[in-house]
Chain A
Amino acid sequence: METVLEVLNPVAPTAGQLERLTLVPRPPSLQGKRVGLYWNYKRGGDIALQRVGQFLRSRFAGLEADFLPVQRGPQRGVLRKLLQGYDVVVGSTAD
């Protein structure tokens, strides 16, 4: 006779499964825009972002690109406040 074992699922739903977020609209052009270059102090990420900033400045008149080194593991509120005022942000964690 077949035996059955019923067990409960140990995996918790994630906040992302409860709510999906909309992407912020991208500007059609970066002319005159502010770009944040977010770095978490991992080696290599700073070089990558500086290169991106250099490229974007050379392509778009009036573009401001700010290098943003941020302590690893920032609170969401801190991050939100830091990134306010930037039209777009490029992040690199390098690994």
Chain B
Amino acid sequence: MAIVARQLEREALAIARSLGLPSFQYVVTSRILTDLPATEVEEEIDQVLGQILEKLTTTPESNSSRVQTKAGPAQAERFSGEDRYDCFSRMNEAFLERGWGDGFPLLPPTREAVASMLQGTSRTLDEVVAVMAPGDGMASVERIAINAVMAGCRAEHLPVLLAAVEAMTTPPFPLRTVACGTSPHAPLAVVNGPLAKRVGIHSGRCALGPGAPSRVNTAIGRALRLVMMNVGHAYPDVADLDTIGSPLKYGMCLAENEEANPWEPYHVERGFPREASTVTVFGIKDMVDMNDVQNETAEGLLTSYSAWSALMGGEYMELTKDFSEYHGIVLLAPDSARVIAHDGWSKKSIREYLYHHSRLPLKWLLSKIRAMGPQVMLPQYRWLLDAPQEMLFPVIGSPEWYHIVVAGGSVGKSQYMRLMGPASMTRPIEDIPRKNERA
């Protein structure tokens, strides 16, 4: 059984039902425990101890049953109206009211549109790509294709989306946390290889949008969000418990600017041949503009970047028994990449420099962990609680936790993004030659 705060009871029941537990057993506290002092947590629990005991010693009726054997094809629904636009409006109103959209108008997933979308893959429409957290949704090719239509994707974008779903449903990507957390996590899909340009995924100026140059990026990023909601059941205020939200969650996708990359592309670092096309999904927490167009040396630029990386701070959960890794991604503008490479620096040396120079005083970094109590820290790190608290400490756990992707236009303004956990596995994209592919 579980202890659930009243304010989150609806979400707990939704998750339990999606996991096959309509008879989920729980007790309800009147307040959320996370922000309460210890004495008030105990007061809340004292109110429900009797109920806890009853739940632990009384077996309610429940029956296992297999309701369906497979996901099955999608059901159709009809919307009537005075004309096509009226029908479209009614469909949108219904879908948005049910929570099936992101707030923007949705393209209608007609049978014809979905059939056309499915031309983009050789996979069968009933193939289940993954079982998707948090709701254990059956991510069939057909369901993903329907959401891709709604987002404005074309058939040639579907393989990217399928590979991205595979990537984010494979550990170590922390999908459940990215989908449900109370922080504003959002997926960023980074595409590498020749397919990116062929299907129109932008790698240059305004690659993360908005506008015409990145319209394909926008559609794919949006589709990924719709899949998280309608397939993974990460609906806002139901399973997505993000406190404030973020515009990053509408969707993020870009291609690495491999032409401007003076080193090996990201996917080659991950073990793929250069000619392969791949997608990697990162769970983004937040981002900052690294605005340094003055420095003309690698060390100067990376000193500035270390300051921004430090400014964003660290989570330090790898010091605790939770042992969560919190990585970072540097979206390196082409001009900055050129300057750094010209001075003879490799990606490895960039990572090392950032790791050693992105530091903050221990007292700031351990504030959160100190509030949790020393028992949460791994024994080998507890000495840090007694170390001089003005000591500077790296904000990230290892140089290898910095990911470097070259992207963007010609002015040297890079970006740094903190991640919720490590990056996903990099997945290959099915590459089907198609007639009339448009860039």
Contact = CB atoms under 8 A, between A and B. Distances in A.
Interface of A: 2-23, 25-30, 35, 41-49, 51-52, 55-56, 59, 69, 71-73, 75, 88-95
Contacts of A27: 56-57
Contact of A7 (B5, B109, B147, B231): B109
Interface stretch (B46-54, B334-342, B358-366): B46-54
B322 A71 contact: yes
Interface in B76-107: 76-84, 86-88, 90-91, 95, 100
B79 A44 contact: no
Given A72-B177, A93-B4, A95-B241, 10 more contacts: A5-B78, A5-B108, A11-B230, A12-B232, A16-B17, A21-B62, A26-B58, A35-B56, A71-B323, A95-B33
A-B pairs, 7 with minimum CB distance: A44-B33, A5-B87, A16-B20, A15-B136, A12-B137, A14-B18, A22-B64
A8 B114 contact: yes
| Residue in A10, A43, A69, A91 with the greatest tally of chain B CB atoms within 10 Å | A10
A72 B322 contact: yes
Given A7-B110, A72-B322, A90 B2 contact: yes
B62 A22 contact: yes
Contacts of A18: 20, 66-71, 138
9 contacts: A3-B83, A5-B79, A5-B84, A8-B114, A12-B232, A26-B59, A51-B49, A69-B376, A95-B182
Nearest to B65: A20
**Secondary structure at chain B's binding surface: helix, strand, loop or mixed?**
mixed
Given A15-B138, A72-B322, A90-B56, A3 B146 contact: no
Given A10-B100, A13-B137, A18-B138, A3 B87 contact: yes
Interface in B138-160: 138-140, 142-143, 146-147, 150
Interface of B: 1-5, 8, 16-23, 25, 29, 32-36, 38, 41-42, 44-46, 49, 52-53, 55-60, 62-72, 74-84, 86-88, 90-91, 95, 100, 108-111, 114, 131-132, 135-140, 142-143, 146-147, 150, 171, 174, 176-177, 182, 226, 230-233, 241, 317, 320-324, 371-373, 375-376
